[in-house]
């Protein structure tokens, strides 16, 4: 619940207006003995003034002209000017905060780049030793300053590292549960300035893909949609209570959208203004939030939609007055900053790992990716699925039965150079070659199934020999750009 008091001028006080404040979506005006409540429309001053004038006039009619038409008009003019100034001040303050956070994130990215240059050629073992040392140092710094934060921070880092699991495309949505003043917000705020984190205090179900009419051009909607902003990042929201306390119908709608994006396959929505707007394909992210507890109605709704939220309850410790005084001490900010410095030192070192596969903002592998020769290049015979990261060269498949070219993103097989690397490495191993071909078949058949609704098992026997022969020719002759056709030998 948010409450904001508007500063009442002396002129308004002489008219009897003693207090004017905004609470959530309502505007409350005190003019003894009157207490007027009206709807407040954020960003829509005209609608706010219309409802406010109507509320004041209705009170006047039933209370012997308490305000008077002239005083009502004076109050409306005063409030309009004040609301405009307040919005401008809030907007300027928000822009300044965003500017400072952007500068901080850019500085961290520069430090990571410098670390990569300084430690170029570092071995995996050396990097691992440095990583463990920094994690232990972080734990010790937390224990020395605010020890209650460690359990929650360790859980948050575990969620963050889900983004680094190779081939994982299923997002994690985790909520830290704990008593008030238990350090939940501080834990989540520690990552606020991390470049690969997206932080917000509040959001709505419609913010994932917006259909607002307040933008000048439809193309500007992509700049404010939240779904692409959290892609390949950790999404930090320190308070889930506004969602858990929604009315049941609104709660179902909100959790329904959250359940959908938790599948990691994007989101599509339709409105009467812009029609269908969608973000399709893999949308991986990690989401960490916090709440005091989960109402029963939430479990009831999740039982219908499917359980996609994970809850982690902090240990219950008795908080004494001394504990509170210690946390509220004058050096609390200093302690918090010390923890954040140690945390970022650990996170920056993690980013220079020599065996990491680095993704760009679109989720595709960059040309300078480094692959783990011991892990990423191993295959198990007969196991379907994608065990390698795709690169930037395209191999386009074609449906043999419908003769329909599948040139959408989901119909392109990326990773020609990496595929060649794996094929050349295991070219003398028949089992490995068969496994690579089968994996490639499953990738193409999956694209066929998504675009044409065909059963992938029907075409496996038709496609497999073609792919096996085609890979043999492709990897030994062509550097890139080969086209594969189902049922045709290349």
What is the structure's pLDDT at 479? 32
Same-domain status, 306 and 447: no
Please tell me which of 176-185, 344-353, 382-391 the model is most confident about, judged by mean pLDDT. 344-353
Residue 383 covered by a domain: no
Residue 450 covered by a domain: yes
- Residues 60-85 have a mean pLDDT of 86
pLDDT tens for each residue of 290-332:
999 999 999 889 888 888 899 999 988 777 777 666 665 657 8
Q: Which two tokens stand for residue 341?
A: 């410095």
| pLDDT tops 50 at residue 362 | no
Same-domain status, 290 and 335: yes
pLDDT tens for each residue of 251-288:
999 999 999 999 999 999 888 877 888 898 889 999 99
Same-domain status, 213 and 275: yes
What is the DSSP annotation of 267-331? EEEEETTTEEEEEES----EEEEEES---HHHHHHHHHH---EEEEEPP--PPPHHHHHHHTSTT
pTM: 0.60
For 10, the domain range is 3-88
Same-domain status, 267 and 311: yes
Task: Label residue 204 by pLDDT band (50, 70, 90).
Answer: confident
pLDDT tens for each residue of 103-136:
888 899 999 999 988 998 888 889 999 999 999 9
What is the structure's pLDDT at 199? 92
What is the DSSP annotation of 319-360? PPHHHHHHHTSTTHHHHHHHHHHHHHHHHHHHTT-TT---B-
Q: Please identify, among 285, 316, 350, the residue that sits at the C-terminal boundary of a domain.
A: 350
Same-domain status, 195 and 311: yes
Q: Please identify, among 71, 88, 105, the residue that sits at the C-terminal boundary of a domain.
A: 88
Q: Please identify, among 335, 350, 365, the residue that sits at the C-terminal boundary of a domain.
A: 350
Number of domains in the chain: 3
| pLDDT tops 60 at residue 469 | no
Residue 103 covered by a domain: no
Same-domain status, 131 and 70: no
């Amino acid at each position: 619940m948010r409450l904001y008091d508007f500063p009442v001028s002396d002129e308004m006080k002489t008219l009897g207006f003693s207090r004017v404040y905004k609470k959530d979506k309502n505007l409350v005006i005190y003019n003894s003995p009157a207490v007027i409540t009206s709807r407040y429309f954020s960003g829509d001053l005209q609608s706010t003034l219309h409802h406010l004038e109507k509320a004041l006039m209705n009170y006047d009619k039933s209370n012997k002209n308490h305000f008077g038409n002239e005083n009502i008009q004076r109050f409306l003019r005063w409030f309009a000017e004040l609301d405009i100034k307040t919005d401008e001040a809030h907007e300027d303050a928000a822009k300044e905060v965003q500017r400072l956070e952007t500068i901080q994130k850019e500085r961290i990215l520069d430090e990571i780049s410098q670390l990569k240059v300084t430690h170029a050629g570092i071995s995996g073992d050396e990097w691992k030793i440095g990583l463990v040392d920094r994690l232990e140092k972080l734990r010790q710094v937390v224990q020395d300053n605010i020890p209650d934060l460690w359990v929650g921070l360790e859980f948050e880092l575990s969620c963050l590292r889900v983004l680094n699991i190779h081939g994982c495309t299923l997002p994690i949505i985790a909520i830290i549960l704990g008593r008030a003043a238990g350090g939940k917000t501080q834990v989540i705020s520690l990552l606020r300035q991390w470049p690969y984190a997206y932080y917000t205090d509040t959001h709505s179900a419609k913010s994932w893909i917006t259909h607002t009419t307040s933008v000048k051009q439809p193309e500007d909607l992509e700049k404010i949609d939240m779904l692409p902003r959290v892609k390949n990042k950790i999404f930090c929201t320190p308070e889930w209570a506004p969602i858990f306390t929604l009315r049941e119908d609104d709660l179902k709608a909100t959790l329904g959208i959250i359940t959908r994006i938790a599948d990691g396959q994007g989101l599509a929505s339709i409105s009467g203004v812009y029609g269908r707007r969608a973000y399709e394909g893999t949308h991986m992210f990690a989401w960490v939030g916090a709440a005091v507890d989960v109402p029963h109605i939430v479990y009831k709704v999740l039982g219908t939609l499917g359980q996609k939220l994970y809850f982690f309850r902090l240990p219950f410790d008795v908080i004494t007055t001394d504990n509170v005084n210690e946390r509220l001490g004058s050096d609390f900010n200093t302690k918090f900053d010390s923890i954040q410095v140690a945390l970022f030192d650990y996170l920056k070192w993690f980013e220079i790992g020599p065996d990491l596969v680095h993704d760009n903002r679109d989720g595709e592998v960059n040309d300078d990716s480094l692959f783990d020769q011991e892990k990423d290049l191993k295959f198990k015979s007969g196991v379907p699925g994608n065990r390698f990261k795709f690169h930037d060269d395209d191999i386009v498949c074609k449906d043999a039965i419908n003769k329909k070219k599948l040139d959408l993103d989901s119909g392109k097989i990326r990773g020609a150079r990496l595929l060649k690397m794996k094929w050349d490495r295991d070219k003398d191993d028949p089992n490995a070659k068969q496994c690579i071909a089968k994996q490639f078949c499953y990738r193409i058949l999956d694209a066929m199934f998504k675009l044409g609704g065909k059963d992938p098992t029907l075409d496996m026997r038709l496609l497999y020999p073609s792919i096996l022969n085609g890979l043999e020719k492709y990897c030994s002759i062509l550097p890139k750009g080969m086209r594969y056709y189902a049922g045709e030998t290349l």
